[in-house]
């Protein structure tokens, strides 16, 4: 497998492998490496209860001897698995698991870089997704590419027209990140993605200041993760109409382009419609950024001041347009990110503006009793407000901090229960589009709960989310490109499809199994509608194998958040 990215040469592409001779034992486990502090399990579909296993170190010394658990059915995959647990092992090194009655052995490693290395690739993927600028060889290795989409003459679509900016006129909106497998830039999805990275930085600033990404901004005395996040934040600011404060929903071509490199997609790009959801998401993200940037250098403090002014102007526009929902124009067929219920956006934006300013005019729109909280995704954003309240209690005076904490812990308790009852020891209990993103958002919620409570249960369940996406699943798939022996090779991403390089860009989280859509490759390609098994590693599978900034962001949060917590102990 040919994979190389800037400063990524240390990546081990097959850290965990199975040496087969005679009868093989199927095994599903973290295929990259275990952290010394993590829970360590292998799931065994073909092993019966009562069988023993042992773990040997590199010198052949027996360190663990125990029995596998009774096999348990996971209804989402229709498979039964027994579990071998060797979490008592904490020393870094190489190990071997031998199952009684099997002629195969399972090797694995323990390293304290187990989460830091893939986590670094997960955030580095945002540099690889930058629009407008060239991706340079000194930062990207063989994945270097030409600049695409200057976005200096973006056309005002009729749906976005105003007196000051009539249809057909142009604006400049360069920079930012490509959203997913396409080259669009969408405010709704950018907002939750940008917030997630900002929140990670807010919680672990000192840890992240020591994380080097080898990006153009490296060495400027600002944390690389924050620098990368600001690339998208600055683009978002260009999507606000300075005349009225409204924010355009998206910037795209009229139709998706073919599977070509960015510089070959040269059709006109449009900003489409101002919406309340996009403008509220924008306001929340800008207010969050303004608070964080107050603690940075003078240049970034000034940017923070500009962010808050933009947030206030966006809020005023929303007050004048409280329910302007996205409607796809007939001549546009790119991603919609249409949300029909936006009370959660109002809650999130009001919360962030209140925390940033202390202005009581925002408090009346923070209506806890009207909200049904759940782990976040782009349609469900009210929990993001809870995260900010609980990480900024000094600014949250007058808000119900106790109730906020109870709500987060209640959600975490539900996820922990699902984790303990799952045959695969994972919190997920549904498989929508982007199910791996759901798992990572579960992990993000659990980490926030741990930081509130210091309850190790939540950390254990969050850690299991990493194991799941790294191979401890019934597909035996390590869903982060470049990490593991069975990782996606044909993700639905135009850059990866068109760059002529065998392996995809490392550090991309594939969307994961779902049976909600199978028309992209055809039902015969999937072969099943069992939820956790409905996945194919095929370029056509935008439903299961696409990549997206809103799935990578919580993965960055969980991998690096866990590493920050473990390294501080």
Query: Annotated active-site positions, please?
Result: 182, 492, 537, 546
Least Cα distance to 225 among 137, 121, 295, 305 occurs for: 121
Confirm if 351 and 282 have CB atoms less than 8 A apart.
Answer: no
Segment holding 207, helix H or strand E: helix 205-209
Structure tokens belonging to residue 213: 């990404």
DSSP string, 279-312: HHHHHHHHHHHHHHHTTS-HHHHHHHHHHHHHHH
Residue 418, token pair as written in the block: 């699902």
C-alpha to C-alpha distance for 240 and 460, rounded to whole angstroms: 41
Could you identify the residue written with the tokens 């499809």?
497
Query: Quick one: DSSP state of residue 14?
Result: -
Nearest Cα residue to 434 out of 179, 150, 96: 179
Q: How many helices (H) and strands (E) does the chain have?
A: 15, 13
Helix, coil or strand: residue 62: strand
CA 550, distance to chain mean position in Å, is 5
From the list 547, 530, 428, 543, the residue with the least C-alpha distance to 482 is 547
**From the CB of residue 350, how many other CB atoms can be counted at a distance below 10 Å?**
24
Residue-wise DSSP of 120-167: HHHHHHHHHTBSSS-B-HHHHGGG-B------SSEEE-GGG--SSS-T
Question: Is residue 447 within 8 Å of residue 466, measured between CB atoms?
Answer: no
Both tokens of 385, joined, read 């407000």
User: CA 443 to CA 47: how far, in whole Å?
Assistant: 29
Q: Please, are residues 480 and 470 in contact by the beta-carbon 8 Å criterion?
A: yes
Task: Give me the phi and psi of 562, to 5 degrees please.
Answer: -65, -40
Maximal C-alpha separation, the chain: 78
């Amino acid at each position: 497998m040919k994979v190389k990215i800037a400063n990524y040469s240390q990546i081990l592409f097959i850290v965990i492998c199975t040496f087969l001779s005679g009868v093989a034992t199927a095994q599903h486990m973290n295929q990259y490496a275990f952290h010394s502090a993590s829970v360590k399990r292998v799931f065994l579909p073909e092993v019966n209860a009562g069988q023993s296993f042992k773990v040997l170190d590199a010198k052949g010394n027996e360190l663990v001897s125990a029995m596998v658990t009774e096999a348990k059915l996971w209804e989402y995959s229709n498979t039964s698995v027994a579990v071998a647990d060797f979490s008592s092992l904490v020393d870094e090194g190489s190990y071997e698991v031998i199952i009684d009655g099997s002629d195969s052995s399972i090797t694995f490693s323990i390293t304290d870089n187990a989460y830091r290395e893939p986590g670094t690739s997960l955030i580095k993927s945002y540099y690889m997704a930058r629009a407008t600028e060239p991706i340079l060889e000194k930062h990207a290795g063989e994945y270097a590419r030409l600049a695409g989409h200057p976005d200096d003459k973006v056309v005002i679509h009729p749906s976005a027209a105003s007196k000051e900016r009539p249809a057909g006129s142009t604006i400049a909106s360069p920079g930012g990140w490509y959203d997913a497998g396409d080259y669009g830039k969408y405010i709704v999805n950018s907002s939750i993605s940008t917030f997630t990275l900002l929140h990670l930085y807010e919680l672990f600033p000192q840890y992240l200041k020591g994380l080097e990404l080898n990006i153009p901004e490296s060495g400027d005395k600002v944390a690389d993760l924050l620098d990368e996040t600001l690339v998208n934040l600055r683009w978002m600011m260009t999507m606000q109409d300075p005349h009225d404060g409204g924010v355009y929903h998206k910037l795209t071509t009229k139709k998706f382009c073919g599977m070509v490199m960015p510089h070959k997609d040269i059709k006109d790009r449009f900003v489409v419609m101002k919406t309340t959801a996009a403008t509220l998401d924008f306001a929340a993200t800008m207010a969050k950024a303004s608070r964080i940037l107050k603690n940075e250098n003078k240049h970034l403090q000034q940017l923070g001041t500009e962010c808050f002014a933009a947030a206030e102007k966006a809020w005023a526009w929303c007050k004048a347009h409280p329910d302007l929902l996205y409607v796809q124009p007939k001549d546009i067929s790119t991603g919609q990110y249409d949300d029909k219920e936006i009370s959660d956006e109002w809650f999130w934006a009001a919360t962030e503006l209140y925390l940033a300013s202390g202005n009581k005019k925002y408090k009346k729109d923070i209506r806890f009793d009207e909200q049904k909280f759940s782990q976040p995704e782009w349609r469900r954003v009210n929990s993001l407000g809870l995260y900010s309240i609980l990480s900024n209690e000094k600014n949250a005076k007058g808000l119900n901090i106790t109730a906020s904490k109870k709500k987060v812990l209640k959600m975490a308790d539900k996820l922990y229960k699902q984790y303990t009852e799952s045959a695969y020891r994972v919190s997920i209990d549904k498989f929508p589009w982007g199910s791996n993103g759901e798992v990572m958002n579960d992990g993000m919620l659990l980490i926030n709960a741990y930081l509130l409570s210091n309850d190790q249960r939540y950390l254990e369940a969050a850690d299991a989310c990493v194991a799941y996406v790294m191979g401890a699943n019934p597909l035996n798939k390590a869903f982060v490109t470049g990490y593991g022996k069975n990782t996606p090779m044909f993700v639905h991403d135009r850059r990866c499809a068109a760059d002529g390089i065998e392996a995809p860009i490392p550090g991309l989280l594939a969307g994961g199994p779902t049976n909600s859509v199978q028309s992209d490759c055809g039902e015969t390609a999937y072969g099943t509608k069992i939820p956790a098994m409905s996945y194919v590693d095929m370029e056509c599978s935008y439903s299961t194998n696409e990549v997206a900034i809103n799935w990578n962001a919580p993965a960055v949060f969980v991998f690096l958040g866990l590493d920050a917590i473990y390294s501080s102990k």
